[in-house]
Amino acid sequence: MELHEHSDLSKSVHHSVDVAFALTGDPRANSRALRQLGLLSELGLKVLVLGLGTPVGMTRMNIQDVNLICLPRPPGSGPRFFWRNHRQFKSALKYIKSTVYHASDLYTLPAMRQAADRHHARLVFDARELYTHVPSTTRRPWVRTTWEVIQHLHIHRANCVYTVSESIAHHLQKTHNVQNICLMRNIPAPQPATSSRSLRERLALPPNVTIILHQGNLQKHRGASVMVEAMLHIDNAVLVFMGRGPLRSDIEHLVQNLELQSKVRFIDPVPPEKLLAVTASADLGLTFLEDCCLNHRYALPNKLFEYLAAGVPVIASDLPEISQIIQRFSVGCVVPPGNTKALAVALNRAVSNTELRQKWVTNTHDVQKVFNFATESERFIAAYLPLLNG
């Protein structure tokens, strides 16, 4: 579909909505976007979502009063991708009038800001990442500067800025002097998460084998190769990668080269609404971000809270936001990022000491009392309502 056709596509949908919501990706597979869209729907709002996906065109999401326009993913990467992405979002927004324009990432923010200005509307920016300090900007100061300029130009227009961790909130406040920041952590909505044998049965694993789960896409700087190499030193356990991603084939080849096919398995992701039931069938969860940028250092990833919500203890990189939760509630342990030997020692301890693991499992219930979807939802809605009524 050519870019000029998106304006015709927009004309065929409601000209006026309560919230126009844009994401550089497929919102149907994005847990954070789905949670926010569900909350907006519960408020009785009419929402139009713009995202990248197939089939291209207009479709309904499985959320009441939420429609989706799928735009094609532009070719290329870096600045060229951003420019093409910006142009097609800008074109698609031309005939969409909304009370609030919700940019779900930095890459859609300029187009959403222009639409908000055109209609004298409210603007929301979800800084779900510290975009100026992601791995792709490491040792590339001109790239970082470009994103810093783009973010600085538009973040001050936002009537509300959401983000995922206190550290990112403080960084944005310090760097851009932004005060209207609302914290909404990546905590999953309640789902059935009772202990099951889903993974064990699917992979035909005996009852005495400990299941170590890493869920999410396999991407650079997430420690996948370190996890695989650590399994050389682990017995009576199987590491399960549940996800796709650009590195999956490389990691599969690494497993073959190390002859670890019996210890490392790969399965495709499950739909977000069924995730916790599968997660609950694991014995340990892994999140092993490398300390390669501030975005990772300040991260509170979805998978951390998904593991804990499913009653699964976590072994993670010793990064400030993550380790604070794991150590505060004693729901697992942290090890130096990228350290294969330290990870192997931690995994062996967890695999062999079932009493310790059970203590961690019991403690996961305490996390829910402090970090839960109800609290995060109330905070999200409290910040949104004044934008709708203003």
pTM: 0.90
Alpha-carbon distance of 388 to 390, in angstroms, equals 6
User: What span, in angstroms and rounded, lies between the C-alpha atoms of 259 and 277?
Assistant: 30
Structural domains of the chain sorted by starting position, each given as residue range(s) with its CATH number in brackets: 4-186+373-389 (3.40.50.2000), 198-370 (3.40.50.2000)
Write out the two tokens for 204: 């035909």
How far is it, in rounded angstroms, from Cα 1 to Cα 297?
A: 39
Extract the tokens encoding 220: 């650079």
Q: What local confidence, expressed as pLDDT, does residue 190 receive?
A: 81
Query: pLDDT tens digits, residue range 185-225?
Result: 999 988 765 656 789 999 999 999 999 999 999 999 999 99
Which of 127-141, 330-344, 358-372 is predicted with the least confidence, judged by mean pLDDT? 127-141
Residue 140 has pLDDT above 90, yes or no: no
Beta bridge partners of 50: 22, 69
Task: Give residue 1's pLDDT.
Answer: 37
Count CB atoms within 10 A of the CB of residue 67.
16
Q: Cα dihedral sign for 302, 324, 214, 75?
A: positive
| % residues pLDDT > 90 (the chain) | 82
At residue 362, does pLDDT exceed 90?
yes
Q: Quote the pLDDT of residue 307.
A: 96
Give the pair of three-digit tokens for residue 91. 């074109």
Q: Given this model, what pLDDT does residue 77 score?
A: 80
Give backbone dihedrals phi and psi of 89, rounded to 5 degrees, phi first: -65, -40
Using omega within 30 degrees of 0 as the cis cutoff, is the peptide bond preceding 110 cis?
Answer: no
244/266 Cα distance (integer angstroms): 9
Residue 312 contacts residue 279 (beta carbons within 8 Å): yes
Q: pLDDT at position 5, please?
A: 43
Under 8 Å between Cβ of 291 and 138? no
Per-residue pLDDT tens digits for 224-248: 999 999 999 999 999 999 999 999 9
Structure tokens at 328: 């505060």
pLDDT band at 13 (very low <50, low <70, confident <90, very high): very low
Query: Measured between alpha carbons, how far is residue 179 from residues 121, 161, 174 in Å?
Result: 20, 9, 9
For residue 206, the one-letter residue type is P
- CA gap 59, 66 in Å, rounded: 9
Mean pLDDT, residues 15-36 taken together: 93
Q: What is the 3-state secondary structure (H, E, C) of the chain?
A: CCCHHHHHHHHCCCCEEEEEEECCCCHHHCHHHHHHHHHHHHCCCCEEEEEECCCCEEEECCCCCEEEEEECCCCCCHHHHHHHHHHHHHHHCCCCEEEEEEECCHHHHHHHHHHHHHCCCEEEEEECCCHHHCHHHCCCHHHHHHHHHHHHHHHCCCCEEEECCHHHHHHHHHHHCCCCEEECCCCCCCCCCCCCCHHHHHCCCCCCCEEEEEECCCCCCCCHHHHHHHHHHCCCEEEEEECCCCCHHHHHHHHHHCCCCCCEEEECCCCHHHHHHHHCCCCEEEECCCCCCHHHHCCCCHHHHHHHHCCCCEEEECCHHHHHHHHHHCCEEEECCCCHHHHHHHHHHHHHCHHHHHHHHHHHHHHHHHCCHHHHHHHHHHHHHHHHHC
Around 148, how many Cα atoms within 13 Å sit in the side-chain half-sphere?
12
Q: Quote the pLDDT of residue 385.
A: 96
